[in-house]
Structure 1
Amino acid sequence: MRISAAQRIENENRIRAAMDRLLRGEIPPGGKCDIKTLAREAAVDRTAFYGARPYAHLRTEFERRLQRLQEAGQIPDPREAQIERLKVEVATLKERLARAEDMNEELSEFRAQALARLAAQHEEILHLRGSVAAASLVTHLPTVRTTTIGSCS
């Protein structure tokens, strides 16, 4: 079905208006910043954007403008921006987790070494006490209690 020149101009105006909205970040619910959403928002058949169809040049323009925005660090689709932010956050959390696991392993090794040293020291103390008790050369002196005699006033 052929359309008139006036209808084509009207369609192009709707497509350009929808293109501007999408590139500003006004993404409709359930949509993305893509050709499918552009066609739906402009009420135009999506196939009209491909090949030698009448609006292929507008698809090229849309993709070029979208690429320029992305190169400038602007992502018009809030979901895409959220995905990128979450990817960065996941990578950061993975790094933190790896560092925490390394630290946990080091602390576990330190704890094992400390317990081994304490056990060895305890055994040495028991051994020394036993050898002191076995050697009866040590004479224990009685404890002397000192009493204070009343002071002169």
Structure 2
Amino acid sequence: MRITAAQRTENENRIRAAMDRLLRGEIPPGGNCDIKTLARESSVDRTAFYGKRPYSHLRLEFENRLQRLQEAGHTPDPKTAQIDRLKTENGKLKERLAQAEQAIEELGDFRNQALARLAAQHEEIVQLRTASAPSTRVTRLPTPRTEAIGPC
């Protein structure tokens, strides 16, 4: 069924209004800033935007405007901006995790070296004690008296 010129103009006006809303960031729940949502919001069949269909020029206009906004650093779809932000944050956290794992490994190596040194020092102390014990002649001193001698 063919549409009249008035219907086509009305459809184009609805498409442009929906396009403006989407590019301002007014994304409906469950939607994105894309052709599928544009078609749904303007109540036009999505296939009308592709090929040599009546609204393919509006699809190109929408994609060009969206690209210019993205190049300017503005993302109309808050979900896309959130995904980009979370990907960046995830990359930073992965790097911090790798650094922490490396530090833990280095500290584990240091701990093992310290324990080995302590064990070697303990062994040396034990050897020195056994080597010096038989040759020393230590005289034991008498224990001091604990009773008091006279008034103090």
**Counterpart residue identity of residue 113, structure 1:** Q
Q: Which residue of structure 2 lines up, in the alignment, with residue 49 of structure 1? A: 49
Q: Which residue of structure 2 lines up, in the alignment, with residue 108 of structure 1?
A: 108
Aligned pairs, how many?
151
Q: Does 2:70 match 1:76? A: no
Question: Offset at 1:148?
Answer: 9.3
Q: Alpha-carbon deviation of 1:73? A: 1.2
1:12–1:109 CA distance, 2 compared to 1 (3 A): same
1:45-89 residue CA offsets vs partner (Å, 9 max, x unmatched): 111111111111100000000001111111111111111111101
Whole-Å separation in 1 of the counterparts to 2:143 and 2:129: 21
SS in 1 for 2:131: helix
Q: TM-score w.r.t. structure 2 length?
A: 0.91
Q: Alpha carbons of 1:148 and 1:9: their partners in 2 closer, same or farther (altered >3 Å)?
A: farther
CA distance in 1 between partners of 2:128 and 2:138 (Å):
14
For residues 126 and 26 of structure 2, what CA distance do their matches in structure 1 show? 79
Aligned amino acid, residue 85 of structure 1: R
Provide the rounded CA distance (Å) in 2 between the counterparts of 1:48 and 1:29.
23
- 2:91 alignment counterpart: 91
CA distance in 2, matches of 1:38, 1:93: 36
Alignment partner, residue 32 of structure 2:
32
The answer to whether the aligner puts 1:16 opposite 2:25 as a matched pair is no
Q: Match for residue 124 of structure 1?
A: 124
Return the alpha-carbon distance in structure 2 between the equivalents of residues 68 and 91 of structure 1.
27
Give the unaligned 5+ runs of structure 1.
Answer: none
Give every structure 1 segment of 4 or more consecutive aligned residues whose post-TM-superposition deviation is greater than 6 Å.
Answer: 147-151
CA deviations over 1:24-63 (Å, ceiling 9, x no partner): 1111111111001000000001111111111111000000
Instruction: Give distance in 2, aligned partners of 1:56 and 1:22.
Output: 18
Cα-Cα RMSD: 1.7
Letter in 2 for 1:53: R
Gaps of 5+ in 2: none
Indicate the percent of aligned positions where both proteins have the same amino acid: 73
Report the Cα offset of residue 139 of structure 1: 4.0
TM-score, with structure 1 as normaliser: 0.90
